[in-house]
Amino acid sequence: MLDVTDRHCRYFLRQIAPGLHLYTEMISAAAVVHGDRSRLLAFDPAEHPVAVQLAGNEPAQLAAASRIAADFGYDEINLNVGCPSDRVQDGRLGACLMAEPERVADCVAAMQAAVAVPVTVKTRIGIDDRDDFDFLAGFVAPVAQAGCGTFIVHARKAILQGLSPHQNRTVPPLRHDRVHRLKREFPQLRIVVNGGIASLDEIEAQLEAVDGVMLGRKAAEDPWFLASVQARFLDASPGPAATDRAAVVRAMHAYLQREQGRGVRPHQVTRHMLGLYRGLPGARGWRRFLAEQACRDGASPELLLWSLAQVTGAGKHIADFTPVSS
């Protein structure tokens, strides 16, 4: 979810479903240690519970990055061993680390020793032609022994040469059964399944076999779907859920007013909101208006309220509006 689940996206999703456990986009441990930590790690308190997802392969560096993230207040440190991009592979990060379970175990042990919050691992079911269950179990066992109690498993293998990251999310077949078997073979671990799950009934079926479900592209493309997830599975969680999409838009208008004073441009926030009205009358106009207007020089947070008026039929035509700050 690189370039998707930034802090603006997470704040937006939190308005829809207060019970979700949110994850950052993948962040390089080296960047956390040596770069602009505030830019990389800052988040709004409303995002809790929120996990930071790190990429790295050096135990000491990952331990240092974990300490920094924990000091920022993250509730979980997640090590990504699932990203298949060429750039990540060139640094011996992401999914290629499945071939080095002992190194991953050393990284997890160092991270666990550095922080009091949980350290988890996100992985695939395999890589290239090393995709049988024995390979997956051979990766999980030493990493679990090093102290990892939760594995988030994308139920596709990663093909490290020849497929793009997008293709790696669609071309390798889904093997949810492989993740289910992992839970049966390692009942003491918390196993969360990820990949291709797009309906409430599918979530319910998965929860009969594993401990949790991670949603990625479905949440990004159809964010209001998370309101139904909240209602069906997370009603007992603290915090009020949004009653309707308009309440979310108004909350994001207030958020954007605040953030614009800190130098955030409207499109940095509104780009995450394009799918809010997916499947409803007016959705196309909502998307087009936000996509076109939010990038204009001088764009104002008021464009959210104006666009809301269009999609609800309560205002003038969108073409009559010039969303420029006074």
Q: Whole-angstrom Cα distance, residue 193 to residue 183?
A: 10
Q: Whole-angstrom Cα distance, residue 249 to residue 303?
A: 10
State the catalytic residues: 83
Contacts of 219 (CB under 8 A, 6+ apart): 13, 225, 226
Q: How far is CA 266 from CA 95, 127, 292, in A?
A: 34, 40, 11
Nearest CA to 210 out of 182, 175, 234 is that of 182
Contacts of 254 (CB under 8 A, 6+ apart): none
Numbers of helices and strands, H then E, in the chain: 16, 7
**Contact 157/95 with Cβ under 8 angstroms?**
no
Instruction: Write out the two tokens for 261.
Output: 């004073």
Nearest CA to 20 out of 52, 55, 51, 42 is that of 51
Q: Whole-angstrom Cα distance, residue 59 to residue 114?
A: 10
Q: How far is CA 321 from CA 145, 149, 216, 310, in A?
A: 60, 53, 34, 11
Long-range contacts of 199-207 (CB under 8 A, 24+ apart): 200/228, 200/229, 200/232, 203/229, 203/232, 203/233, 204/232, 204/233, 206/176, 207/233
Q: Whole-angstrom Cα distance, residue 119 to residue 151?
A: 10
